[in-house]
Each structure stands twice: as C-alpha cells, then as structure tokens.
Amino acid sequence: MARGRHKVFLGMAVGVGKTYRMLQDGHVEVAKGHDVAIGLLETHGRTDTAALAEGLELIPRRRVAVHGTVVEELDLPAVLRRAPGICLVDELAHTNAAGLEHTKRYEDVAHILAAGITVFSTVNVQHLESVAGRIGERTGIVIHETVPDSVVDEADEVVIVDLSPEALRARIAEGKVLPPASVPVALEGFFNKENLGVLREIALLQVVEEVEAQRLTAETLNNPRLSEQVAAARGVRFLGLVKPDLSANRIVRRAWTLAERLGGELDLLWVTPVEPSEDAETARAVAELRRLAAVFGAHLIVETDRNVAAAVVRVAAERRVTQIVMGTPHLRRRLGRRLRSLVDEIAAHDPTLDVVLVGDPPGDGDGPSGG
C-alpha cells in the first residue's frame, strides 16, 4: 500500500491560525470530491474555529481514564477503520495518555500515513526538537512537548501560516486566543514582541531551509564538488557590528538569520572609542543592547579602541569569525578629502574576511553600526 501524503501547517505560535487554515483546506478538498474526515480537532473554545469545522465529518475521540480523570484522545483504530482519503489531525506534539498504541500523536500520524491515508496536521515551530532548546535559551521558556525535525523534514508539503507579532498580540489582547484572565501575563511573558519575533524568524527559516535543501539536493546529486562546498559552509561564525542605538535591532536580526540558515554561531561586537559613560540614558541603551543579544542567543563583546577596524579584525581572529555583518557605511570626508570607509579599513587589515552590509531603512542617515 502506498504511503499517504503528509501536509504540515507550521506556525510561530498558538493563535496564528494553523487549525483554521487546515480546516479551510479540508473544505477545499471536500469541494473537489475527496473523502475528508477530522481525526482530532482542538478548538480551544474558539467559536470561529468550531464553526468552520461544521460540514466536515468528525471521527469521535477515544475516552481514556487517567488517574481518576477521563481524557479524550485521537481514536487511532477508529481512524484506520474509517480510512478516509484525508484525515485532519491537530497538534502533532501532543503526548498521548498512557496505554495507547503510541506515546506521541506524531507517531499516530505516522501509523495513519503508513495505512495509505493522507494527513493534514498542525504544529508550532517551537515544538521542533532542534528549535525547542534554542527557544529556551533565547526566551527562558522551556518546551516540554517536542516533535523530531524529521517529521517536518519528511513531510510532502509544509505550509507556513504567518502572522506578524503585532497582529498576534492584538488578537490575544482582544481575547480571541487565550482566556481573558491570562492575557496580561501572556503578553508580558511568552507572547512579548521579542519572543514572537524570534519564533517568527525561525518559522520562516524552516520553510526557506526546506526549499533550499530540496534545491541543493537536486543540484548536488551529480556534483560532488558542490556537495563539499555546501558542507564547508556549515558551522561558520558571524560577527555583528552593533552599537547601542536603534540600528542594532536591524543588524542583529539579519546576522542571526544568516547564522541560523547556515547553522553557524553569532557574536556581537560594540567598539567604543572611550569607556561608556555612566549616565542613565547610556546605561539604558547598553542594557537594551545586552537584552537584545540575550534574546537572540548571541554573545556580546564590548571593546574600547579608537581604531574600530583593528578591533574588529582582532576580535574576529580571536573568535575565528569569517563573516562580518554591519550597517551600510556612509561617506566620510575630512578637509574635502574622502576617507576610507570601515569596510575598506577592515579589508586592508584582513582581506580574507567577508562583509555583509545591511541596508538602512528610508530616511536613516546614521553611520555604520560598530563605529
């Protein structure tokens, strides 16, 4: 029997609309004449989600007694007996009650797929095993339920269900995602802007990496030299040049994205010509820079040196960095004579370093970060 196809709806966090999108696609398949049934649906009390499920067949859940309490789980034998053409299964990372056929719901899905049934499923990116640890390091949130990356890697299709952090926070504030009593704590905790920004970056990268991996796999099958080049690119170390101002966020996000994509490490460097002053405004700016570094799991290095390029090259050598990420340098003149940019000076000190420039947003006239 041919294995069923697996379509995963991947989102950055609860509330972005994964289940809603899965149900929409279920209705589309029904309209095409396909046999669709819901194996497991979690509405979490959201009326719009429950309403969208109407018109789709729902396979009753199995009731299981656990320590005197009855819980409802996916009824795997019932799904296999019903054998729909497409089965919708919510929350892949769920841990089943003890005594069922499998410990985890993604194992139930593997069983259903092996029976030749196509499955549409949902999962949040923080539940992927390779991501859960990094999320914990960056946000302080411990993820207890995880799914092996291979479940998503081997899926036939991955659909990213995207929503900006601002839009998701607005939905939460309006009471559309969580119980009203938990909203204030949630918005200050797991659902703060920084955490959601990290989660969204990772979710988008998962899709980018999948597409890139498929392209590279096709290109490297008959190209051993390219395979060696791809392998050599892994594990590179990036150094983001920052300073305690508004440009830091842009630089750090770009550097972190590059590092994540290539499986590399990220350091941040602030070179200041004199010791930072102790006034309140400077202290707040430096504290924000350190917080930003912590959110993205980066190591912040502060160097006092009037020669920025020399400091950059020195730190790069010490940290074995090969890629520099910095803001776009602006034209500098002295007595009508054009001076060398920071990029020129870095290249003069060490021409083996690669420099990635992050463009300024419209109307930004600041100098390059790190100077």
Tell me what pLDDT residue 261 has: 67
Is 230 a residue whose pLDDT tops 70?
no
- Tens of pLDDT, residue by residue over 316-356, are 999 988 889 988 776 555 545 555 788 888 888 888 888 88
Counting residues of the chain whose pLDDT is more than 70, the rounded percentage is: 80
Segment 212-216 shows an average pLDDT of 47
Give 37's pLDDT tier (boundaries 50, 70, 90): very high
Counting residues of the chain whose pLDDT is more than 90, the rounded percentage is: 32
Is 6 a residue whose pLDDT tops 50?
yes
Q: Which of 74-78, 201-205, 278-282, 285-289 has the highest mean pLDDT?
A: 74-78
Name the burial class of residue 60, with classes exposed (0-12), middle (13-18) and buried (19+) by CB atoms within 10 angstroms of its CB.
Answer: exposed
Tell me what pLDDT residue 133 has: 67
Q: Which of 18-27, 219-228, 244-253 has the highest mean pLDDT?
A: 18-27
Tell me what pLDDT residue 139 has: 61
* Whole-angstrom distance, CA of residue 292 vs CA of residue 305: 23
Tell me what pLDDT residue 116 has: 96
- Find all residues with CB under 8 Å of 222, minimum gap 6, and list them: none
* Whole-angstrom distance, CA of residue 51 vs CA of residue 287: 47
Is 277 a residue whose pLDDT tops 80?
no
- Domains annotated on the chain, with CATH: 6-212 (3.40.50.300), 235-358 (3.40.50.620)
Tell me what pLDDT residue 339 has: 59
Is 40 a residue whose pLDDT tops 90?
yes
Segment 36-45 shows an average pLDDT of 92
Tell me what pLDDT residue 31 has: 94
Poorest-pLDDT segment among 110-114, 145-149, 152-156, 219-223: 219-223
Give 210's pLDDT tier (boundaries 50, 70, 90): low
Tell me what pLDDT residue 343 has: 85
- Tens of pLDDT, residue by residue over 291-301, are 878 777 788 99
R_g of the chain computed on alpha carbons: 25
